[in-house]
Amino acid sequence: MCGRYTFEPGTKFYDRFDISNRLDYLSKSYTVSPGKIMPVITHDSSNLVWLMKWGLIPFWANDSKIGEHMFNARAESVVEKPAFRKAFNTQRCLIPANGFYEWKPQAGKKIPYYFEIKDRPLFAFAGLYDIWTDPVSGKETYSYTIVTSAPNETVKPIHDRMPVILEQKNESIWLDKSTPTNTLVSLLQPSSESLIASLLTSGILRV
């Protein structure tokens, strides 16, 4: 799974993802957690950045609380699972990040391990988003989830899941609405171990 990640956009964020619009403000966070509002990149005629809530609320949900349990989507079932099927077909997105945390039980405690990518200070998770309309107020909520896969050999000793990190050359393929399903599924693989930097451990997450 992926329950925490970091985001520090830096000065080249918009150029890095070839984004055509601009947000009023981009805040950095060393502990992005489910429920937070964060930048998400979509594509129509160009790449656009939006602020969305982490924890996907399916468009058909009766209650927004379902999103509290939908912050990850398993790559193995994302094509068929009702909560993600529509989003997988038509509402794929990029989740920009600098690194992510996984926890390992150790001596009765859960120790956070931080992972980042060699030579890629800013990368993107494969994501899905949806738009939910409150049946009472009519207010729309844009929300997203991060797709996860089995771990690679670097992450495996720490956790049995990891977020899908797209190679930069594949980001536009993931966003393209015309990409065939079999091609999309082929992208949902564990990152090569050579891309994962040496893991860092810390008993305290930075805030």
Which residues are annotated as catalytic? 2, 102
- Tokens representing 8 are 């520090």
- Tokens representing 149 are 């896969």
Count of beta carbons in the 10 Å neighbourhood of residue 54: 25
Residue 5 burial by CB count (10 A; 0-12/13-18/19+): exposed, middle or buried?
Answer: buried
Contacts of 88 (CB under 8 A, 6+ apart): 78, 79, 128, 184
In angstroms, rounded to a whole number, what is the distance separating the alpha carbons of residues 116 and 100? Answer: 7
In angstroms, rounded to a whole number, what is the distance separating the alpha carbons of residues 70 and 143? Answer: 10
Closest CA to 184 of 129, 132, 126: 126
Q: Helices (H), strands (E): how many in the chain?
A: 4, 13
In angstroms, rounded to a whole number, what is the distance separating the alpha carbons of residues 106 and 43? Answer: 42
